[in-house]
C-alpha cells in the first residue's frame, strides 16, 4: 500500500535558522507531491506542489522543495524561518497518471520557531 513518511515529528528552531523537513513515499509510479501547512486555528493551506518538470519547486512564503525520484523523496526547505512559520506541516502524495483524487498524507511535523 502507498505510504508517506515524515521523519521529523517535532522540530524546534530559533528564528533565522534554516529548515529542512523530510518526506519519503513508497509509491513507484508517477506521483503528484504536495506540502500543506496548518497554522494554529487555521485551515490547511497549500505551500507548494510538484506535478512534473523542474524537480525544484518554489512555493509561498519562501518555501521550496526538491523532488528526488531515485530517493522517493520530496523534502521541504526554507533558508531562514520566522516565528510566524510555527505550524503543522504535512507532506501528501497523490497518484499521478491514474489519479483517483486520493491523497495520502504523512503524519505531520510540528514546527515550533522560537523568537
Partner 1 sequence: DTEVTQTPKHLVMGMTNKKSLKCEQHMGHRAMYWYKQKAKKPPELMFVYSYEKLSINESVPSRFSPECPNSSLLNLHLHALQPEDSALYLCASSGDIGISYEQYFGPGTRLTVT
Q: Which residues bind partner 1 (CB under 8 A)?
A: 32, 34, 36, 42-46, 49, 51-52, 88, 90, 94, 96, 99-103, 105-108, 110
Whose Cβ is closer to partner 1: residue 27's or residue 51's? 51
Size of the chain in residues:
115
Whose Cβ is closer to partner 1: residue 49's or residue 77's? 49
Task: Give the shortest CB-61-to-partner 1 separation in angstroms.
Answer: 16
Whose Cβ is closer to partner 1: residue 75's or residue 108's? 108
Which one-letter DSSP state was computed for residue 76? E
Task: Give the shortest CB-16-to-partner 1 separation in angstroms.
Answer: 27
Which one-letter DSSP state was computed for residue 53? S
Neighbours of 44 (CB within 10 A): 13
Q: What angle is formed at CA 101 by the lines to CA 60 and CA 93, rounded to 5 degrees? A: 55
Neighbours of 101 (CB within 10 A): 6
Task: Give the shortest CB-72-to-partner 1 separation in angstroms.
Answer: 18
Amino acid at each position: 500500500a502507498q505510504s508517506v513518511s515524515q521523519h521529523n515529528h517535532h522540530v524546534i528552531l530559533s528564528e533565522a535558522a534554516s529548515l529542512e523537513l523530510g518526506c519519503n513515499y513508497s509509491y513507484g509510479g508517477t506521483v503528484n507531491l504536495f506540502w500543506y501547512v496548518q497554522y494554529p486555528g487555521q485551515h490547511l493551506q497549500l505551500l507548494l506542489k510538484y506535478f512534473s518538470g523542474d524537480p525544484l519547486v518554489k512555493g509561498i512564503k519562501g518555501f521550496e522543495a526538491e523532488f528526488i525520484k531515485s530517493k522517493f523523496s520530496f523534502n521541504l526547505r526554507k533558508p531562514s524561518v520566522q516565528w510566524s512559520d510555527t505550524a503543522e506541516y504535512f507532506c501528501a502524495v497523490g497518484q499521478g497518471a491514474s489519479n483517483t483524487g486520493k491523497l495520502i498524507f504523512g503524519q505531520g511535523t510540528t514546527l515550533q520557531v522560537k523568537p
